[in-house]
Amino acid sequence: MEHPEPTVSVVVPTIPANDHDAVVDCLREQTAAAYEVLVVDDATLDICEARNTGILGARGDVVALTDDDCRPPRDWLAHVEAAFDRDPDLVCLEGAVHGGRTYDGERRYVGCNLAFDREAAIAVGGFRPAFAGWRDDTEFGWRMERDADGRCAYRDDVRMHHPEPPRATLDEALEARLRREYPDRYEAVLVPDTLRGRVNDWLWRKGVWNLVDRVRYDLPNAVGLDR
């Protein structure tokens, strides 16, 4: 989807095995006026390489990311544009996610609803393929916090619908690497500071919540109910 002078460039990484028609249909219905959409559809690229390819090809000053299994509300890009217009120091913006995944702004920088200044992202090195598939978006956000010349923020009105549970699963080696490389941020953001939080974190790491999600989302299909 092209525009002669896009304010925002949307990048959607995907592979030929995945269907991206639905997310593109949602992007066609955006209320924002000046935007373009780049779908990077290449099975030879990992998700970080695909995102970086889109960033380099983008012509907008702001790049907004989402995934092929997401459904952007019609006002998604309008809220992204408004956030950057209001705050000239903003370099990275994370938003809310609801549906099969829920997120409400905890400095984890979920890649299905993330927007940033294009030049700042290029200056910090883009997404690192070393983390592809696990915490690559979190690692990028923390690098933007640390290295970019500007401010990172969360806005609840920048919302994304993620119908299905996430496809990614815990990679213990990459989790350990993230902790080694960003010990302070890891402790502040990812290590729970309450008993309930620690229990939930332990259950997640043991795969219990993933099993609960599979039951939650597979059962309606099995009995023929809408989600």
Q: In terms of Cα–Cα distance, which of 134, 126, 142, 146 is closest to 177?
A: 134
- Taking only Cα atoms into account, the Rg of the chain, rounded to an integer number of angstroms, comes to 17
86 φ/ψ sector (left φ>0, alpha ψ -120 to 50, else beta): alpha
What integer pLDDT is reported at residue 199 of this predicted model? Answer: 45
What integer pLDDT is reported at residue 136 of this predicted model? Answer: 98
What integer pLDDT is reported at residue 190 of this predicted model? Answer: 94
What integer pLDDT is reported at residue 222 of this predicted model? Answer: 46
What integer pLDDT is reported at residue 162 of this predicted model? Answer: 95
What integer pLDDT is reported at residue 197 of this predicted model? Answer: 53
* pTM of the entire predicted model: 0.87
Spell out the domains of the chain, with CATH numbers in brackets: 8-167 (3.90.550.10), 169-218 (no CATH)
What integer pLDDT is reported at residue 212 of this predicted model? Answer: 44
What integer pLDDT is reported at residue 192 of this predicted model? Answer: 66
Tokens describing residue 158: 């920048």
As averages over each run of 10 residues, the pLDDT of the chain (227 residues) reads 97 96 97 97 97 98 97 98 98 96 94 98 98 97 98 98 87 96 96 58 48 49 45
Angle subtended by helix axes 195-205 and 208-222, to nearest 10? 70
What integer pLDDT is reported at residue 209 of this predicted model? Answer: 41
Tokens describing residue 220: 């309606």
d(CA 111, CA 206): 23
